[in-house]
Structure 1
Amino acid sequence: MANPVRPGEKTLDFDPGDRAEAGLTFIGRIRTPWSRGDCPKNIRLARDSGQPAHIEMDTAYLDGLTGLEPGRALILIYWMDRARRDLILQSPGHVNGPRGTFAIRSPNRPNTLALSTVVLTGIDPATGRLDIDAIDCFDQTPLVDLRPWLPTIDVPPALQDKLG
């Protein structure tokens, strides 16, 4: 296990990867201009950068793209394969004091799944290339799943009235 990198952080005394209870298959890869040291900390900052990104789907899953159209909002679920899995208490630079992993949106977590809502800006169903407005992950990040974002399902009821 790696040592904590900030004061106040705490690691687990085991590797969560050794407790795998389910198998995942990656359906594609997310292509971005980002690498360690220059990746935006969140999707808002990625959008502000103006840097587009795209997804390269595994050809075995091309039929699953049927019905997708540009302009649609999508939820991407992806595997942050270069994130730490052992941090359970973290000290993010933008808040005072440590926070539990489940109280923040850090990519460092026992299961390094991340999700973002993006806009599909282009699609080539023949090759499986999906152009998206932005994303905040490293180049070649594995894609676990994608789903259409639906306001009647994905916005909590108490917020639906406020959003009109």
Structure 2
Amino acid sequence: MDEKIVFKPIGYIKSPFEDVKNMPKSTRESMDVEAEMIINEEYLESMSSMEVGEEYMVLFHFHKSEGFKQRVPFMGNGPIKGLFSTHAPNRPNPIGVSTIRITEINGNVIKFNGVDMLNGTPVLDIKDIL
């Protein structure tokens, strides 16, 4: 159970948000904000069926998170909840998931709305919403 798991990013987020304080708490707050995913070119074939206008789940690494608490304020300032009932970035395994809507695809660059990630965030995976 103490096995270490290592991930290699498939790309990175280019976001207007440099600081957690100014970042939206969820994609619902940022559907009018555009950002980019720069995907490593070795994964271009994996992007071949992605479509503009479609929604996808992006799994990413909360690369600026440190430590965690098991009970946190919901959305940063709401009622106290158990960590697993929130999207708080400080987690035992700092993995985030967001739903985004693609606005443009140009080679290995995916423009999207719904950014709630910091600039430079490593992308772990992208999944279609079925």
TM above 0.5, yes or no, is yes
Query: Following the alignment from structure 1 to structure 2, what is the Cα–Cα distance between the partners of residues 101 and 54?
Result: 28
Aligned to 1:38: 22
- Aligned pairs for 1:66-81 within 5 A: 66-81=48-63
Larger of the two Rg values belongs to structure: 1
Q: Residue 145 of structure 1 corresponds to which residue in structure 2?
A: 125
Listed as ranges, the matches of 1:98-109 within 5 Å are 98-109=80-91
Which blocks of at least 5 consecutive residues in structure 1 are unaligned?
Answer: 1-18, 151-164
Percent identity (aligned): 22
Which residue does the alignment assign to 2:110?
130
Amino acid at match of 2:50: L
Q: Which has the higher helix share?
A: 1
1:28 corresponds in structure 2 to 11
Tell me what 1:113 maps to: 95
- Structure ranking higher in strand proportion: 2
Amino acid of the residue matched to residue 100 of structure 1?
Answer: G
Aligned-pair RMSD on alpha carbons?
1.5
1:57 has 2:62 as partner: no
Structure 1 runs (4+) deviating above 6 angstroms are none
TM-score (norm 2): 0.88
* Structure 1 counterpart SS, 2:111: strand
Q: CA shift at 1:104, angstroms? A: 1.6
- The C-alpha deviation readout for 1:57-101, integer Å capped at 9, x for no partner, is 011211111111211111100111112333222234111xx3221
TM-score, normalising length: structure 1: 0.71
- In the other structure, the counterpart of 1:93 is 77
The answer to whether the 8 Å contact 1:70/1:122 transfers is yes
Contact 1:79/1:112, CA 8 A, preserved across alignment: yes
- Separation in 2 of the partners of 1:70 and 1:102? 32
Greater RCO, 1 or 2 (C-alpha within 8 Å, sep 6+): 2
Give the superposition deviation at 1:20: 5.9
Give the structure 2 partner of residue 5 of structure 1.
Answer: none
